[in-house]
Structure 1
Amino acid sequence: MTWQEAKKHCEGDGAKLANLRNEWTRVYVELMAIKAPLWIGVNKMETSRYFRYIDGWPITQSNWDALEPRMNQPCVFVNAEGKWKTADCNQNMTSVCMKSTDVPPTVPSDFPGTCPDDPDSPRWQRNSWLPFKGHCYLFLTERVEWPDASANCVRHGGTLASIEDPFEQAFIKNGIDRYKDVHNSFWIGLYKTHKGMWMWLDKTAMDYTNWGEGQYSSNSYGAIQIADGRWSTGRPWYDRPYICKTSKVLHPAPPTIVSPGVHHQSRGRIILAVSLVIAAIAVGLVIVLFLFKKSGRRLPIPEKLTTFDNPLFFNNERSQPDLVDTSKLVANAEEETPGPVKTV
């Protein structure tokens, strides 16, 4: 079937053309594609002219073949090697349908956070990052080679910019228009692997492209042209200005002060009352001891304790008439009670 016929066939069965948004599904479809190429649920003509799954899920990981995706071929199939390829939607191929109860995420409308300070710029030039949705962008006009531009972006706290969709493309195009009288292009974070696959330096999925005519297959690094916003390629030794990109900085919310509940208030009052009682008892004991000491009277001491010399309770350690020297008592007892007298 053509891609559109395959889509209708799946919908007639209460399903959709498959999306490969997790590893298990991707491997399963790749195994089925060994027998014949399979249409999947990607057609950029139905998703704002960039590659997204038609059921609303974004492409977070892809497996494009070399020199893919091509701009003039909107529909996507998986070939016998498990690679993704674009094709004319009117070609006849087999297809794979998928039923799922998962709900795709909604597109966020609020993008909190602020752009970071630029640690590699003078103080009077800081905060030069420009915000757009969830990211910030730095347009640097020094002309350097692509590898140097990549390293410089890291020093500034970001990476060479990726372009994820037509909206981000329009923002960046507007940003570089200011330099059209001085420069003709800026480096971006595109590079070609040794297998001929184009990738973004920050690992963004390659689901949107805007290549200029004849530019896709040449050279090894990507740039964006100021004149029309199309992407071009260049050798690593070309000197160009460049664009850095980083995520917004999210500031922690201020702590919320919550008034304690009734239970915590009651517990606090009980603890306070107990503390006051203990403090009052301690003060009372100190006052009683002070008064006894001042009056010269002794505290009532149990009889068994009177044999101990305790200066805490007596004013004069030398004058303690009630104490008895037991050693003398023993000696006197021996003198008064001599042992038996022998008679001869």
Structure 2
Amino acid sequence: MDYVDWEVGQPDSHLGREGCVLVDKVTFKMSDSVCDTFQPFICEASEGSMLTTQAPPTETPDVPCDDDNAWLLFNDYCYKFISEADEAPQTWWTSHRLCREEGGELASIHTYEENYWIVSKIYNKTDQTMWIGGRSKLDSSYEWLDGSVFDFINWAEGEPNDFLDQEDCIGMYTRASGYWNDQNCAHTEGRICKRPHHSTLPPAQTTVAPDGHCQSGWLHVGSKCFKYFTQRLTFDDARTACQALGAGVDMISVHSSSEQAHLTTAMGQMQVNTWLGMRNERGFHWVDQTAVTYTNWAPGEPNGHYYGSWGPGEDCVEMLTHNRAGQWNDANCLVRHAYICQRNMVA
């Protein structure tokens, strides 16, 4: 090889699995890549050589599971790929429920061969990411929803990074060499379902909010307890303060007009704006990673318009007071506000 023009940081042999070379179609810089991904290609021939047109290679036909063409067979498991072109993308938890309703589960992946067989089925989807069945545990390790051993990884470079401390679920990139990314479970994506061949799993169990009570000093809203803190902190410091109160405690998320009414009433005597647990990360999401099912934005909000001493940007959400009591506004995350924490009821 008498010439190379590597991209900065390349080649890096990420995970020891990158034995082939790609070039950027704009810069023509080179990087190493997994050989089993699907990419456009460039052919070369000596000047003046006779060229012939050859038929493209024959692809191995898909094998349906149990005569159901919606499910494909690989190594005694059946897989179904539901992209954003097939139906509306869903959160990770909803995707889990929908897979279970069809007798499967969000896919667990245990070998390189399984990972890149899946890639061969999704690389031409319009989705950027599709949900698989991995999630983080309290000890920062990961587990598969189907209970199988977490014995294979294929993280993208720099992942998992738990960005903004709110990325507990795993998605697979459809085109980025089949690598995985941790992301907020409330993002909506396509999904990959998996089930044993000749077998199905029961539907997901619906979790019923337990009867219980709130600890002293905490107020009851729906199935949750919340507590208001008057100390003024930045958004990140407020979240750290909530999480320091114990396992399962986080900044509050609001999911209905009823919950909002409870909060507005309870905060009625307060004269300072208050942080809610919502942050802009590819759109506004709750930091506890529950789905956004309700909003109460003030007129004209969110508008992203802030240019003060903390710098530009309004990526966090405050609840307003006075003549806009209870309404929401996007605010700079470095502003210091009161804050509200939430926890589950004690049985």
TM-score range, shorter chain: 0.3 to 0.5
Larger Rg: 1
Q: Between Structure 1 and Structure 2, which shows a larger proportion of strand residues?
A: 2
Q: TM-score, normalised by structure 2?
A: 0.38
Q: TM-score, normalised by structure 1?
A: 0.39
Q: Between Structure 1 and Structure 2, which shows a larger proportion of helix residues?
A: 1
